[in-house]
Amino acid sequence: MMAYKVDFKDVSTVGLESSPVATALAGLRANEARYYWNKYKHIFITVPAKDDLETLKWIETILMEKEMSFPYKPLEVTSFEVDGLRMAYVFYENGLTVNVMYSVASDGKRAVGFKLSDGMEIPQEFEGKFKFARQKSKLAGTIRGSFFVIKGTY
């Protein structure tokens, strides 16, 4: 398992090289790493998706609440717990990032977030289902994001 400690100071495309938007996707990954470092002092470490199929399957299972499954190649995943939240991410080759925020407490917040790398088109799976808000990032350019609240228990 080749773990990668995401550097948000010197952004690298390590693990994401096959993406047509590798630089933007690396910036998006670094943006997430910076957020978790600044808020929780958590070091954001990713692994190749093939090395953590359990996390990938968990995310894919939750996505089925909205009957969503993606034909895109998953490049990297991460899963960790911080401040009572189980967090999981998958970074896809096309530039899509999916994250799950799942409160350990049964009455806590639980949601799936979607972020689109700068320069990628909105995938057809989202058309007519989600509206995307825009956010500027020094690391990632313009990030478009959306989410849905998780209803089930996983």
Cα separations (Å) of 116 from 6, 7, 41, 97?
18, 20, 25, 6
Give the pLDDT band of residue 11 (cuts 50, 70, 90). very high
Is residue 24 packed enough to be buried (19+ CB in 10 Å), middle (13-18) or exposed (0-12)?
buried
- State the CB neighbour count (10 A cutoff) for residue 131: 8
DSSP string over 35-94? HHHHHH----EEEEGGG-HHHHHHHHHHHGGGT----SPEEEEEEEEETTEEEEEEEETT
Q: What is the pLDDT of residue 2?
A: 87
Each residue's pLDDT tens digit, 81-111 = 999 999 999 999 999 999 999 999 999 999 9
- Choose among 57, 122, 128, 66: nearest CA to 90: 57
| pLDDT above 70 for 54 | yes
How many beta carbons lie within 10 A of that of residue 80, not counting itself? 16
pTM across the whole model = 0.96
Pairing of strands 85-92, 4-5: unpaired
- In the chain, where the domains are located: 4-149
